[in-house]
C-alpha cells in the first residue's frame, strides 16, 4: 500500500517557541540588541523586550507590504521566509545602521534554523515511511537522493522497547545519548519503541552488532535508572530498500524474545532459531499438536523436578553423564527419571527424534500461554 505522507500535510513550523527564545536571547547576549519574533498574524512567539506597542496592526501592514525590511516606530522589521512562504516577522529594537545589521544577522540565523529543522523533519518522515513500507521503490531512491541519504551502505535496525510510553522529549534524549554518528537515524513509529537505523562498516559482523546493542543498553540504563529496557535487532541489509526487512525482523525478534528468551535483554533475529517458526503457528494447530502428543495431558502437568531434569538434559545435548553431574544426582537416578517419563508420555528423550518432539512441545506450550496472557 502506497501512502504519500508528504502530500496534504499542513506544515507548521518545526521550530518550537523555546528554541526561538533561546536563539534571540543568545543573540541579545552577543549584540546587546533586543529582539522579538512574531508570527504572520502578529502573535508574539519569543521576545527579549516588551514590544507591545508594535503589535498586530504594524505587523499586519508590514506583512502585506512588498518590503523585506522596514523601520516602524523606532524598530526594525524583517521578514523571515521558509522557502517562498513568509514564516516569521522579526523586530530588532532600534533604528541605527548597527541595529539593522544585527537584525539581518538574527533573521539569517533563524532562517538557517528553519532549513536545518525542515531537513531533519523531512528525513525523519522519510525514514518512518521507509520502515513502514509506505513508499514505492522509485520514491525511495528519489527521496533518498534529495535528502542526501546514502542508498548503498550496510545498515541494521535496532528496536529499543521501554516499559513506559515515550514522548518527543524522551526521543530527543535518546537521540542525544545515541546519536553520535550523524548518519544514524533515531525515530519512533509508536509510543513504546524507539528505532535506531544504524549505518555499519563492512567489517561489522554479529559480534559487533551484539556489542552495539549492549552499549546502547548500558548508556540508556545509566541515564534512565531502573527502567526495564529490551533491545532487538534484525539482520544487516546492503540497500536502503531492504531497511524495512531488517525492521520487520527486529520487531519479530522483540516479540519472539518475550516468549522464549524472557530472561534476555538483547535478542537478535539470527538467534531466534525454531522459536520464530513456532511464533507463526495458529493456536488451534498448537492445541491439536499438544493433545495428540500428550493424549489430553500437557507438559505443564509435569512436576518441577521432572521439568528441571528435562531442561538440563537438553542443555547438555542429551548427555546422561554430564546432566547427572550438573544435577548432583547419580547416573541411575537420571536414567530412572527418563524411563518414568517415557512410560507416561511414550517419548524417550535419549532418542533424538523424541527429544525434538518434546522440545517443540515445551516451546509450543510456552507460546500458547503467552498468547493467552495477551487476551486478558
Q: pLDDT tier at 281 (50, 70, 90 boundaries)?
A: very high
Predicted pLDDT of residue 220: 81
For 353-357, the CB contacts below 8 A with 24+ separation are: 355/314, 355/318, 357/293
pLDDT of 2 higher than 60: no
Q: Where are the domains of the chain?
A: 17-115, 150-276, 281-375
Question: Mean per-residue pLDDT for 208-227?
Answer: 82
What is the C-alpha to C-alpha distance for residues 176 and 52, in angstroms, rounded to an integer?
37
Render pLDDT for 49-88 as a digit per residue (tens, 0 to 9): 987 766 778 899 999 999 999 998 889 999 999 878 899 9
- At 91 the pLDDT is 94
pLDDT of residue 245: 96
Q: What pLDDT score does 293 carry?
A: 85
Q: Residue 71: what pLDDT? A: 92
Architecture of domain 150-276: 2-Layer Sandwich (3.30)
From 97, 85, 86, 73, select the one nearest 37 (Cα to Cα): 86
For 153-165, write each residue's pLDDT tens digit. 999 999 999 877 7
For residue 244 the three cell numbers come to 524495512
pLDDT in tens, 12-55: 556 888 889 999 999 999 999 999 999 998 889 999 998 776 67
Q: 17-115, which class in CATH?
A: alpha beta
Residue 177 above 90 pLDDT?
no
The CATH-assigned architecture of domain 281-375 is Orthogonal Bundle (1.10)
Q: What does the block give as the cell for 363? A: 516451546
Judge whether residue 259 has pLDDT over 80: yes
Beta strands in 62-183 (DSSP E): 69-72, 75-82, 85-93, 155-162
Amino acid at each position: 500500500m502506497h501512502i504519500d505522507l508528504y502530500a496534504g500535510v499542513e506544515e507548521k513550523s518545526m521550530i518550537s517557541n523555546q528554541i526561538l527564545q533561546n536563539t534571540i536571547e543568545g543573540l541579545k547576549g552577543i549584540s546587546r540588541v533586543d529582539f522579538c519574533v512574531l508570527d504572520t498574524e502578529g502573535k508574539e512567539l519569543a521576545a527579549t523586550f516588551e514590544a507591545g506597542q508594535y503589535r498586530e496592526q504594524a505587523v499586519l501592514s508590514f506583512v502585506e507590504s512588498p518590503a523585506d525590511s522596514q523601520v516602524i516606530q523606532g524598530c526594525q522589521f524583517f521578514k523571515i521566509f521558509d522557502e517562498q512562504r513568509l514564516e516569521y516577522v522579526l523586530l530588532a529594537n532600534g533604528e541605527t545602521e548597527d541595529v539593522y545589521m544585527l537584525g539581518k544577522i538574527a533573521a539569517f540565523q533563524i532562517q538557517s534554523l528553519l532549513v536545518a529543522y525542515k531537513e531533519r523533519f523531512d528525513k525523519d518522515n522519510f525514514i518512518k515511511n521507509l520502515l513502514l513500507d509506505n513508499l514505492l521503490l522509485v520514491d525511495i531512491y528519489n527521496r533518498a537522493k534529495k535528502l542526501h541519504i546514502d542508498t548503498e551502505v550496510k545498515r541494521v535496525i535496532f528496536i529499543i522497547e521501554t516499559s513506559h510510553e515515550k514522548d518527543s522529549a524522551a526521543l530527543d534524549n535518546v537521540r542525544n545519548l545515541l546519536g553520535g554518528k550523524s548518519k544514524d537515524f533515531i525515530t519512533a513509529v509508536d509510543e513504546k519503541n524507539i528505532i535506531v537505523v544504524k549505518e555499519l562498516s563492512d567489517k561489522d559482523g554479529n559480534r559487533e552488532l551484539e556489542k552495539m546493542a549492549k552499549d546502547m543498553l548500558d548508556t540508556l540504563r545509566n541515564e534512565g535508572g531502573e527502567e526495564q529496557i529490551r533491545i532487538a535487532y534484525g539482520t544487516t541489509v546492503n540497500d536502503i530498500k531492504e531497511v524495512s526487512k531488517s525492521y520487520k525482523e527486529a520487531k519479530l525478534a522483540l516479540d519472539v524474545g518475550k516468549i522464549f528468551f524472557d530472561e534476555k535483554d538483547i535478542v537478535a533475529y539470527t538467534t531466534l532459531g525454531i522459536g520464530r517458526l513456532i511464533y507463526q503457528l495458529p493456536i488451534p494447530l498448537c492445541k491439536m499438536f499438544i493433545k495428540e502428543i500428550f493424549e489430553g495431558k500437557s507438559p505443564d502437568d509435569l512436576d518441577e523436578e521432572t521439568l528441571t531434569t528435562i531442561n538440563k538434559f537438553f542443555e547438555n545435548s542429551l548427555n546422561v553423564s554430564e546432566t547427572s553431574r550438573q544435577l548432583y544426582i547419580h547416573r541411575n537416578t537420571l536414567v530412572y527419571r527418563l524411563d518414568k517419563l517415557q512410560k507416561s508420555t511414550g517419548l524417550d528423550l535419549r532418542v533424538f527424534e523424541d527429544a525434538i518432539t518434546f522440545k517443540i512441545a515445551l516451546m509450543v506450550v510456552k507460546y500458547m500461554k503467552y498468547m493467552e496472557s495477551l487476551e486478558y
